Chains A and B, each alone.
Chain A
Amino acid sequence: MTELRNAVTAAIADGRMGDRLWLYATYHCNLACSYCLTESSPQIRDRRALDRRAMVDAAHQARELGLTCVGITGGETFMVPWLPEALAEIGGILPTVALTNATVFTERMLDRLAPLAGADVALQVSLDSDQPRRNDAFRGPESFAKVLDAIPNLLGRGIQVRIATTVEDQTDDELARLCVLHRSLGISDEDHVVRSVVRRGRAATRGMGVELGPSDVLPELTVTADGAFVHPFAPTVRDGRTDLDLLVSRQTRPLEHAMSRFLRIVADLPGGADVVRNIR
């Protein structure tokens, strides 16, 4: 374990891999975004969720291996019924960010998130435009209104919130207005992530987004119910089939197994890889 941990630490220092473990909580989603990497939707046939124990164990093992933070994504992460409690637990192991569309935050759900107040857990909310119609064209009806309702409720409960904007054809003016909006909500520029649609999954089917080059994404070990992948843009789904071109390993327990293979892959990459396309 010490040898593997040293190798992980060196690879992070060399810029050959990121320091975050990503967990795909589920492929299920209450929305069906036009550019979704995983073809997630309410109608998805196989939700392929990680179980809670697997996620918590992976966070513990990630810390032992020298990773310093956790990202949780999907699918809509909050479609997993036990996510609020798991977030509190995982956030106690490593700093955690959970990606969410923020459209499922009922009062009851917000109450369950109360333990996250002051915790090292951030919710990264998707918001693609300052215009409701534009945002909802990408993300689904009423999502803009629900997000703008959820953010003050989360911040008011002491929960860290970040905003992520996925760019396809938004204009510079539109993005500038979006920044005015997030600042007005109390979200700083440092907590606003802007990244391109990536041409994989549903985005590829619809001819959206940019092709990923080999050095566009910093490799970050990403665990899903299908196995471990090279980065969080990797476990994509097209026409109902999971892409295997960036599959690291089918075996994810113990995490050492996947990590040792992940290191063999990133060893071939140049050090100091630039992070052009960043999911977070």
Chain B
Amino acid sequence: MDQAPPLARAWYGAGGSASALTRSFANAPDMMETLMPFLGQIMDESSIDLATKELVIMRVSRLNGCRYCLAAHRPVALDAGVPGEQLAAVCDEADLETLPARERAIVAWVDQVTREAGAITDAQLAATLDHIRDDQLVELTVLAGTITMLNHYCTAFDIPPPGSER
């Protein structure tokens, strides 16, 4: 907190604490003023329940190999009600086929968005829309892209995962 720019302090806790990622963003407080509300809108509960969003966050972070996001969001996902077996599946610790049909369709969609968005077919789009509304698919796709951005950021700057800071 001692080194936090005044306008970045709104995103610090009452005791002056903040995640390593937040402290890193504070280097650019102007960007933070736009980014933090954006991330809130994208990642908080909306017309999509938090558990579904956290499932997507964990899946994309797993695909991108982001140590920080996986460590930071595992407890959030559990608190949001993501069952342990679903968490295991999206983290490749169990078979994706064990997921319920809705979650399996969503994961298939974000997998394709993350790995090769240009290869998405009309059939896959239609199959996904069998389980969620089109506006929800828009949100989840933006969420997947946003998480990829954060994954790359955390990996590039080697942001230390929660609990690993010295």
Task: Mark A residues whose CB is within 8 Å of B.
Answer: 230, 243-251, 257, 261, 264-265
Contact = CB atoms under 8 A, between A and B. Distances in A.
17 contacts: A230-B6, A243-B3, A244-B3, A244-B4, A244-B27, A245-B4, A245-B6, A247-B29, A248-B5, A250-B29, A250-B30, A250-B31, A251-B30, A261-B7, A261-B29, A261-B30, A264-B7
Contact of A244 (B26, B30, B31): B26
A257 B30 contact: yes
B22 to A, nearest CB: 13
A258 B27 CA distance: 15
Interface in B9-29: 26-29
A246 B30 contact: no
Nearest to A257: B30
B3 A245 contact: yes
B7 A250 contact: no
Interface of B: 2-7, 26-31
Judged by DSSP, the binding face of B is loop
B5 A246 contact: yes
Contacts of A261: 7, 29-30
Contacts, number: 36
A111 B3 CA distance: 44
B136 to A, nearest CB: 35
Nearest to B1: A245
Given A261-B7, A264-B7, A245 B30 contact: no
Highest count of chain B CB atoms <10 Å: which of A243, A247, A249: A247
Highest count of chain B CB atoms <10 Å: which of A230, A243, A257, A261: A261
A245 B27 CA distance: 10
A249 B30 contact: yes
B17 to A, nearest CB: 16
A250 B5 CA distance: 10
B6 A246 contact: yes
Contacts of B28: 250
Highest count of chain A CB atoms <10 Å: which of B4, B6, B26, B27: B6
B25 to A, nearest CB: 12
Contacts of B29: 247-250, 261
A248 B3 contact: no
Contacts of B7: 248-249, 261, 264-265
A242 B2 CA distance: 13
Contacts of B2: 245
A115 B30 CA distance: 39
